[in-house]
Amino acid sequence: MGARSTATVSAWETDTNRVPLDILERLDTLFAADGCLVDLVRAIRTPEGFSTPRLLWGHVFSRGPGWVWLRSTGGRQLNAYAYSGPIGIAINEDVDPQGVFISVAFMDPDWPAFVVLTEPGWVDFGRGTPPAWLDRPVKSHEGLRDTDLTRADQRVMSFYMQELRRRDQGDPATLRNRLRSMVDPARWDALEESYLGSAGRSVSTDGAVWATGPYPPRAPGELHLLHRRLREARGLSQAEAAASSTALLGTTAGTRPVSLHQVHNYEIGRASRIRYFPAILDRVYGAFGWTCYEEVAARRIGPRHFSVAFPKFWVGPVCITAVPVAADPLGGEIEFAWNRWKLVRELHPALTSFTFYCMPETWDLDVRVPPGWNIDAHMGQNPDALDANTGWVPVDEAASDEIFDEYVAGFLKVIGKTSDDLGRALGH
């Protein structure tokens, strides 16, 4: 291949030799693809963008249909577990390099979606429904066809079961059979058996979940190169990356548009004056915290009480690290409260970093620590942090009602039932 001229590179960067994003979006609208066309095109070159495959991938869906695309590195057996909240899908497929899809009719934005591969590979997430002409194996929760509960979060499952019992107006002894009648009895029995046999074996454990794969890049030079590679893999020009960054930041007072030149200068290694720019680009390129680790100020509001206001644009992993301020700090419990959820975890000198996920429209994070500790907060993935995505419970009864109603409404869509059907099953 001959050398590319400066003019050729310039044309590529300014949209001359690529399908502009706005045209792609118009085509998506024309075919009523609900974002599927745009996201599939962006996903095709993920292996080129990230270059290094890994075991763990994540995403936060908006409400509505979505898909997950899993690919192995060598087009061989693909084994994985994909989950969001209390339910998952186990994948054990002999596939070619084009992989397998998971199609989901409803995704609750209260729960991030995760995919855990047994061998490093590639995973993408997108909107809409995968078209049949892709001719790919497709797993689905529809009718509970491929749903799996072998690694369900026990606390979350217990919460939903307790809420069903609390709302039931029939004979408690017949509740199981009444709920079972709403779905294929054979699927119910299989799910019940898998769940009862998996007690205490949720997919997230008290180990550092991200430490099993390659470590994210941290050096500024590495990030600049990676962000450029990801932008090109996503099919975006520098101008489109700038426009997408501006759209992500919104119209908050004092926010200036991100320019093509600022993206260009960042990619050639110059320091950026845009606050949190690596995290902004991470969001634009769908990297889910893999390409940034940005510190966010923690505000002290009491002797052992802190508040963290993550930027409104951020959706993805965050890390809270307890920092000792005494020579021999006391152990105890660290308490988190966020939106409608709360979590309590043990804290001691050998276990001080916790990672979980910032969701859309999030309030400030509330953190309480034992005496002798401060906290640091970051956006992005910390491979050495304890996975603290499980064990969250509603903060109060009002939150319990809201969470239950919202999740069950989506779940009823998956099994093709209505709230009236559930009401009848509960004796209302």
pLDDT at res. 325: 87
Contact at 8 Å (CB) between 400 and 342?
Answer: no
Which residue ranges in the chain fall short of pLDDT 50? 1-16, 200, 202-207
pLDDT at res. 2: 44
Task: Print burial letters for 273-294: b (CB count within 10 Å at least 16), e (below 16).
Answer: ebebbbbbbbbbbbbbbbbbbb
Dihedral pair phi/psi, residue 268, rounded to 5°? -95, 10
Q: Where are the alpha helices (DSSP H) in 31-170?
A: 36-43, 46-50, 154-167
Locate CATH 2.60.120 in the chain: 292-394
Contact at 8 Å (CB) between 386 and 355?
Answer: yes
Distance from C-alpha of 283 to C-alpha of 294, rounded to nearest angstrom: 13
pLDDT at res. 74: 75
pLDDT at res. 79: 93
Put simply, whether the predicted model's pTM sits higher than 0.85 gets the answer yes
Using the structure block, give the residue that is written with the tokens 């993805």. Answer: 316
CATH no. of 292-394: 2.60.120
Sign of CA pseudo-dihedral 139, 145, 146, 152: positive
Tally Cβ neighbours within 10 Å of residue 90: 17
